[in-house]
Amino acid sequence: MIEVGGNSSANSIYEAYIPEGYTKPGPNASNDERRKFIKSKYELQEFLKASLRITSGKDSSSSSTQSNISGKILDTILTNSTQKEGMVEFIGLLKVKVVKGTNLAVRDMMTSDPYVVLTLGKQTVQSTVISSNLNPVWNEELMLSVPSNYGPVKL
């Protein structure tokens, strides 16, 4: 976020092509309105200049996983924001690519079912569980929204 000039600069990029007549949700907007806007802005990149859109090049099952992860992030954001006064201001997205594990420790008697959990503040995202594997390969991208007052990311 610092590299792109902060939240205002990022918004000028991610919200550059908001359709005329479309209203950005305000502090009193419903969770559904905010969910739709966040998904349109970040996941679908609908308001971004077409040449700047990021595509993963993954197969449909991976994009389904990505949609599920994005949905969990949105649920976390919206759940947390309703527990506080007003909206939580986020300064960006943190994307972490979980690639693989090598020679992981055995957690049960003979095997392990590894997964990765990332936590930032009250948000938590988890990778897919890989059954019975001490050398798992995920190749998944996990995302967390970065609030204006953030602490360490826990793995």
Q: Is 74 part of a structural domain of the chain?
A: no
CA distances from 50 to 37, 44, 63, 83 (A): 18, 11, 19, 36
Please tell me which residue, 113 or 56, carries the higher pLDDT value.
113
Instruction: State residue 68's pLDDT score.
Output: 53
Contact 128, 140 (CB under 8 A): yes
CA distances from 107 to 3, 96, 119 (A): 41, 25, 22
Q: Give the number of domains in the chain.
A: 2
* Domain harbouring 126, CATH code: 2.60.40.150
Instruction: State residue 113's pLDDT score.
Output: 85
Q: If 0-12 CB within 10 Å is exposed, 13-18 middle and 19+ buried, where does residue 27 land?
A: exposed
Give 5's pLDDT tier (boundaries 50, 70, 90). Answer: low
Q: Is 61 part of a structural domain of the chain?
A: no
Q: Is 1 part of a structural domain of the chain?
A: no
Residues 51 and 100 in one domain: no
138 is in which domain, residue-wise? 90-147
Q: Is 76 part of a structural domain of the chain?
A: no
Q: Is 70 part of a structural domain of the chain?
A: no
Q: Is the pLDDT of residue 93 over 60?
A: yes
Q: Is the pLDDT of residue 74 over 60?
A: no
Instruction: State residue 83's pLDDT score.
Output: 47
